[in-house]
Amino acid sequence: MREYTHELNVEVRSISGGYNLDEEGKIAVLGREVIYAIGNAVVDSACCGAYGCRFALVPGYVVSWKFKKNADGLSVSMVEPITDHIAKQEIEDTLRTGKTVQQVVFW
């Protein structure tokens, strides 16, 4: 089990670019709820040129939805990592079609 902090519209920078999550929600997959977040990633300060993509982050199955607040006042959910390949494929297909993302990243 892991904790997932709900934090949208905060830019996270790295040496070559950054990303920003701007949407999140839950979808039902094989009888369980899955948390996802959608964002944009941009490589804008790398030596090899610029690139960007719309992506989905999938923390896992919902164990406890927004069960507490952290020290910064942000909601925190408990999630279970997704290891089943069939579930991962269904999630990926759903998000690629319904949310028009180029990449799906699982925790």
> What pLDDT, in 10s, does the model give residues 11-48?
999 888 999 999 999 999 999 999 999 999 998 877 77
Dihedral angle at the C-alpha atoms of 82, 34, 85, 80, nearest 10 degrees? 10
54 close to 40: Cβ distance less than 8 angstroms: yes
- Report d(CA 30, CA 73) in Å as an integer: 32
Query: What percent of the chain shows pLDDT beyond 90?
Result: 86
Could you tell me the two tokens for 71? 């020290």
Phi, psi of 60 (to 5 degrees): 150, -170
Residue 58 forms beta bridges with which residues? 106
What average pLDDT does the segment 47-76 reach?
Answer: 94
Query: Per-residue pLDDT for 7 more than 80?
Result: yes
CA distances to 83, 90, 103 from 87, rounded to whole Å, are 8, 5, 16
96 close to 67: Cβ distance less than 8 angstroms: no
